[in-house]
A and B are shown apart, each in its own frame.
Chain A
Amino acid sequence: MNSTRPLFKNRKAAVVVLFALLLPVLLVIFGFTIDYANMQRVRAESQVIADLSAKTACNVLSTTNDTLAAANAAKVVASGNTIAGTAHQLRDQDIEFGNAVQNGSGGWDFSSGGTPYNSVRVMIKRDATTPDGGVNLFFGALYGQPNFDLEQTATASFRELDICLVLDRSGSMKRPAVGTLTSAEWLARVDLPPQPDSRFVAVLDAVDVFVTALATTANPEQLAGVTYASDATLDESITFTHSNVTTAFRDYSLNPMYGGTETKKGIEEARKHLEAIASGRDQIIVLLTDGTYDGGNPFDEAAKCADKGIQVYTISFGDDANQADMQQIAASGNGEHYHASDPAELSSVFKRLAGDFTILID
């Protein structure tokens, strides 16, 4: 048997024929590859729209408690964005309101229609039943699949929070919020209560802004107050009556304040209080200072909080504040750091904190 016997008598152009036969197959493969990649991109695109519109709707719900306004806001955001070039129109049935509770293992359980409403679920859906139909594929005609279905959801919820404010009441808080003093000017006020232009009063005003902003949201957050200098005190236990906390803080502005900045003690006091409540809600500490810590190690303490599931947010106020330290405390405490160099910025930081308590849960 002749093993080298050619298959075709005339082999000329056989490869071209073979290639021509294979070309459609190759086209399908390449077309599908591109379509598949694009499909993933379109899914990501619709997830972005789902996230943004759910979060927007939840924010509106938290401030107005108005489901119609919340649904409209979600629609406006969705229609501002495009999916594969088409502006996305949310339908009423794509937006669900409901109640979500934390299930103890770090997740959330959303029940559609559950009250009180604290969550919004937005579904981005494109298929034969929706007005725009499925999303077109570029090469779908090659393999008989003109379009594909899309279904992405996002759920946003209010966080139910226990917030412990931890304020610095060290001697330096009597310094003016803006500008510096000569040593003579400082001596003149060192034994006086904090003056209206002092950092401490600026902080009190900012806390008022915070409490006012909390009151405009439907989130049922509780507030506690801790202050610290060389020692730390729990000035107001956790309460839904936020004005109790501001009043307790205001009391400090009646007398001169002295002492160091034992930040660690402040965080520790707050952590012990929050742990003792064991409310099962999300717990956060908002720590404020105008200086550099002394005494114990606040980073380890913040890490301890994070271990217990308590987030530590930090605010450094004024040019004397050690921003790097506060950043590190926030990092150890699984929170965020903000810096404010003047009273207006401080108010805006607090306002932002109060407005950022809606989260995506799914």
Chain B
Amino acid sequence: MVEMAICLPVLVLLVWGTIEIANSIHAKQVLLSAAHEGAMLAQQPSVTDTEVLSKVNAVLTARQVDGCTITLVGDSGQAYTSLTPGELFQITVSRDDSNHFVNISSVSVVVKGMKQ
């Protein structure tokens, strides 16, 4: 019993930590795929930011992820619609998962692309 009391916490901590980290890597992967889709769309000419955001949202919904914050702005914070061809935009998708004991799963992904 005493041995168990020494070993079990270490083992549980290891397993739990592995799961938690893997979980956050997976979450990041999902956010990345959503940002990817959005960026591919945002690279097209005459696209509005609303269209891009709804595309990103659609991917997140399909992957059953909610509670995300999505922003689409120019590289230096200006409005996406004000960008001229050749300027960079950036899409940020972040998820703050406060359900976790240690908030390791709050992840954020930034993808940059060029306006056409």
Residue A51 interfacial (CB < 8 Å): yes
- B-facing residues in A17-67 (Cβ within 8 Å): 19, 23, 26-27, 30, 33-34, 37-38, 40-41, 44-45, 48, 51-52, 55-56, 59
Q: A34-B18, A44-B33, A52-B39 are in contact. List 13 more A-B contacts (CB 8 A).
A: A19-B7, A19-B10, A26-B14, A30-B15, A51-B36, A52-B112, A73-B86, A77-B113, A77-B114, A81-B110, A351-B46, A352-B46, A356-B44
CB 8 Å contact bits of B75-115 with A (1 = contact, 0 = none) = 10000000000101010000000000000000000111110
Once A26-B14, A59-B116, A355-B45 are accepted as A-B contacts, the answer to whether A44 and B32 lie under 8 Å apart by CB is: yes
Of B36, B110, B114, which one neighbours A73 at CB under 8 angstroms? B114
Residues in B with CB closer than 8 Å to A38 are 25
B65 proximal to A (CB < 8 A): no
- Cβ–Cβ contact A51 & B40, under 8 A: yes
Tell yes or no: B21 within 8 A of A by CB.
yes
In the complex, A348→B46 CA distance in Å?
6
Within 8 A of A (CB), among B39-61: 39-40, 43-47
Residues of chain B within 8 A of A33, CB atoms compared: 18, 22
Q: Of B3, B10, B25, which contacts A41 at CB under 8 A?
A: B25
A59 with B43: CB separation less than 8 A: yes
Are A351 and B25 closer than 8 Å at their CB atoms?
no
In the bound complex, what is the Cα–Cα distance between A73 and B17 (angstroms)?
Answer: 41
A351 close to B45 (CB less than 8 A)? yes
When distances are taken between beta carbons in the complex, the residues of chain B under 8 Å from A16 are 3, 6-7
> A267 vs B91: C-alpha distance in the bound complex, in angstroms?
38
B7 touches A15 (CB 8 A): yes
Partner of B40, one of A13, A30, A37, A52: A52
Shortest distance between the CB of A234 and any CB in chain B (Å): 29
- A13–B29 Cα distance when bound, in Å, is 43
Q: For A34, give its contact among B21, B28, B47, B110 (CB under 8 Å).
A: B21
Closest-CB distance, B110 to chain A (whole angstroms): 8
A73 to B26, CA, bound (A): 30
Q: What are 24 of the A-B contact pairs (CB < 8 Å)?
A: A19-B10, A26-B11, A34-B18, A34-B21, A34-B22, A41-B25, A52-B36, A52-B40, A52-B43, A52-B111, A52-B112, A52-B113, A55-B43, A56-B43, A59-B43, A59-B116, A77-B112, A77-B113, A80-B88, A81-B112, A351-B45, A351-B46, A352-B47, A355-B45
A218: CB under 8 A from chain B? no
* Interface status of A76 (Cβ within 8 A of chain B): yes
Known pairs A51-B36, A80-B75, A355-B46; A23 contacts B116 (CB<8 A): no
The residues of A with any CB-CB pair to B shorter than 8 Å are 13, 15-16, 19, 23, 26-27, 30, 33-34, 37-38, 40-41, 44-45, 48, 51-52, 55-56, 59, 73, 76-77, 80-82, 348-349, 351-352, 355-356
- B26, closest chain A residue (CB): A37
With a cutoff of 8 Å between Cβ atoms, the chain B residues found around residue A51 in the complex are: 36, 40
Interfacial chain B residues near A26, Cβ < 8 Å:
11, 14
Measured CB to CB, the nearest residue on chain B to A73 is: B114
Output the least CB separation between A155 and chain B (Å). 15
* Smallest beta-carbon distance A295→chain B, Å: 32
Given A40-B29, A52-B113, A355-B45, is A77 in contact with B21 using a C-beta cutoff of 8 Å?
A: no
Q: Pick the contact of A80 from B25, B32, B46, B112 — CB < 8 Å?
A: B112
Whether B45 pairs with A77 at a CB distance below 8 angstroms is no
Q: Contact at B46–A30, with CB atoms within 8 Å?
A: no
| A56 engages B22 (CB within 8 Å) | no
For A352, what are the chain B residues with a Cβ–Cβ distance below 8 Å?
44-47
A13 to B1: give the CA distance in the assembly, Å: 10
Chain B residues, CB < 8 A from A23: 10
